[in-house]
Amino acid sequence: MYFEIANVTVSPVVLILWAMFTGFVFSTVGAAGGILAGMGHITIYGIKNANMIKPMNQILTTITPIISTPLYMRERRLLLPVAIGLGAGGIMGALAGSYLSHTYLSDMQNYKMFFGILTYVIAARLWYEITPRFREKQKKVKEATKNFENKVKELRASGKMNELKEIGVKYTKLGLGRNEFSFGGEKFTYQAWMPFLAGFLVAVISASMGVGGGFLLVPFLASLMGFPMFVVAGTVTLSILITSATSVLNYISMGSVIDYALLSWQIVGIAIGSYIGVMSSKFIKAVYLKGGLALILTYIGTSYVFGPIIFELTGFKM
C-alpha cells in the first residue's frame, strides 16, 4: 500500500505487527516505545523525512499510556505523584528539545547517528543492570519484587487476581520534600524535586530525538531512585503521555507534516500490543524485562552507529 505523504510503500499487516511489538515492549518495560517506533519508520518503512518521523514516533508513544495507565492504576502499580513530577518538568523540556531538533537536527543522516548513539549508551547501562553485582545492590527492590511475584502466583492459583492491589503502591508521606511509599511490603523514599528535574532533562533529549524518553526514565527510576520494576513501567508511561503530547503539538506548530493514513494502522497495532503487555507483564520477572530491552537496544544502536562501517568492511547490511 502506497502512502503519499510519507512517500513509502508498506503493507498494513507489517505496520500492525511491528506496532503490536512496539506497544508490548513499551507497556511491559515502560521504555523503548519511541525507539522501536523510530526503527520502524526509519528502517522498516523507509521514511526519509526526519522532522516527520519525530512527531509520528511520539504520537505512537501516547497510545500505550492511554491504554495501560488505567490498568496500572487499578492494580496500584503506578506512582502518580512521581509521574506528575516527571510530566511537569517534561513539558518545559519537550518545548525546548523539539524546537532545537526541528531547527538544527533536520538532516536524516545526522538524526539517525544521534538516535543510534543514545540508544547504544542506554543499552550498555541496562546490560550492567542485569549483572549479579548490580542486582546484589538492589536488595530492597529485589525483596519487594519477590513479594509481588509470589503474591501474583498465589492469587493466580486461587483465581483472585483482583486482590493484587492490596500489596500495591500506598503513599505514607507526601509533600515538596521527602516522600515515602510502600510496595510489596517494602518502604521506599525519594525527594520530590528529583522527578521534576529528571523529567525536564530527559524531555529535552527525548523530544529532540522524537522518542518517548522511557529508555532514560526507566534506568533513572529503577537504578538511581531504586524503585521496583513493577511500578516503574506504569509511572513512566503516564509521564511520557504528558511530554510526548507537548512535543508533538510543538513540532506541528513549527510545520512538521504527519502521514495520518500510515499512522492509523500503527495505532491499531499499538493498542493491541499495549493491552497484551500490561496484562502479561506481572507474570514476567523484572530481570527478563530488562534483559530483553537491552538486547533490542543493542541491536538498534549497533545497526545505526556501526552499521555503515560493518557494511563497508564486510558487505553485510544490518
Please list the residues that pair with 173 across neighbouring strands: 180
Q: What is the pTM of this model?
A: 0.76
DSSP conformation class of 112: H
Distance CA 60, CA 271 (A): 9
Per-residue pLDDT tens over the stretch 255-266? 999 999 999 999
Structure confidence at residue 154 (pLDDT): 74
φ, ψ at 75 (rounded to 5°)? -95, 5
User: How many whole angstroms separate alpha carbon 149 and alpha carbon 281?
Assistant: 11
Q: How far apart are CA 65 and CA 62, in angstroms?
A: 6
CB hemisphere CA count around 242 (13 angstroms): 23
Residues 53-68 pLDDT 10s? 999 999 988 887 888 8
Report residue 316 as a C-alpha cell: 553485510
CA distances for 218 relative to 38, 136, 150, 162, angstroms: 18, 19, 23, 26
Question: Any idea how long the chain is?
Answer: 318
For the chain, list residues with pLDDT below 50.
none
Give the pLDDT confidence score for residue 49 in this predicted structure. Answer: 94
Q: In terms of C-beta density within 10 A (0-12 exposed, 13-18 middle, 19 or more buried), how is residue 294 classed? A: buried
The confidence score (pLDDT) of residue 74 equals 80
Question: Cβ atoms within 10 A of the Cβ of 153, count?
Answer: 11
Query: Residue 72 carries which DSSP code?
Result: H
* 178-183 and 186-191 beta bridge pairing: antiparallel
Give pLDDT, residue 312: 54
CA 220 to CA 140: how far, in whole Å? 16
User: Which grid cell is 149?
Assistant: 511475584
Q: How far apart are CA 147 and CA 144, in angstroms?
A: 5
CA–CA dist 306, 295 (Å, integer): 16
Helix axis angle, 229-253 to 80-104, nearest 10°: 40
Note the pLDDT of residue 254: 95
